[in-house]
Copies of this chain bind each other. A is one copy, B any other.
Amino acid sequence: MNLVTNPRRERVDAARNRVKILAAAADIVAAHGVEGLSMAEVAAAAGVGVGTLYRRFGDRSGLAYALIDEREREFQEAFIEGPPPLGPGAGVFARISAFLHALTDRTVEQLDLLLMAETAAPFARFGGAYDGYHAHLSMLVTQARPGADAYVLADALLAPLAAPLLAHRLRGCGVTVERVKAGLDDLLAGFAT
């Protein structure tokens, strides 16, 4: 069968390599931190050539995002179709707030990887998970503030969670995660005009 010519299935050896690479990369990060994540080392640990890494993940930050995505898929599902207040069913403001708080936690959890990924390729986040966050938040903001430029406002709510800023404030300036969340809620409160 299979008349629907799927976009060409991944070859089994390629799939095997992808798993080996991600496992090796995760091990290295666990053992030596993100700084230890060099392309040559990952390739060696996974038993493949560096060319294979690049074919599969594009570049260093692509690898980092792949590592991040593994953990993040369930979060995506949670805010799209999970239980409230993150998922549908709660009021708009509650959902926005819950979403921003959850994303803050997610970002803090993976701060080192995100930092590396955004530093190496600040655009990548925009092609990937960021777009999902932005689309979701746009939708909620549209409901919360009919007539406003939800597209731009969503960016404004997401921007304070950029990894470099967050890392700087949390690690170097004594700001706590709670203050960041409270600040976002404060910003949000203005929407209720």
Select A122's contact among B160, B164, B169, B175, beta carbons within 8 Å. B164
Bound together, the chains give a CA A149 to CA B148 distance in angstroms of 25
A126 CB contacts on chain B under 8 angstroms:
164-165, 168, 172
A183 contact from B152, B183, B189, Cβ within 8 A? B152
Q: Whole-angstrom distance between the alpha carbons of A149 and B176 in the complex?
A: 12
Known: A164-B122, A175-B152. Is A187-B186 also a contact (CB below 8 A)?
A: no
Contact call B151/A175, Cβ cutoff below 8 A? yes
Please indicate the chain B residues that have their CB under 8 angstroms from the CB of A115 in the complex.
122
A126 and chain B: residue at smallest CB distance: B168
A149 touches B179 (CB 8 A): yes
Q: Indicate which residue in B123, B152, B160, B193 contacts A179 across the interface (CB closer than 8 Å).
A: B152
**What 1/0 mask marks residues of chain A from 19 to 52 whose CB sits below 8 Å from any chain B CB?**
0000000000000000000000000000000000
Quick check: B189 and A193 within 8 Å, CB to CB?
Answer: yes
A135 within 8 A of B: no
Are the C-beta atoms of A152 and B122 separated by less than 8 Å? no
Q: Is A94 an interface residue (CB 8 A)?
A: no
Q: In the complex, what distance in Å separates the CA atom of A187 from the CA atom of B174? A: 26
Question: Is B151 a contact of A155 with CB atoms below 8 Å?
Answer: no
Shortest distance in angstroms between A181's beta carbon and chain B's nearest beta carbon? 9
The winner among A121, A123, A191 for most chain B CB atoms within 10 A is A123
Q: A148's closest neighbor in chain B, by CB? A: B186
Known contacts A160-B159, A190-B193; A122 and B119 CB within 8 A of each other? yes
With an 8 A cutoff between CB atoms, is A15 at the interface? no
Known A149-B183, A152-B169; further 4 A-B contacts with Cβ < 8 A: A126-B168, A152-B175, A153-B187, A155-B165
CB pairs A–B below 8 angstroms (7 shown)? A118-B164, A122-B164, A152-B169, A152-B175, A156-B156, A159-B160, A193-B193
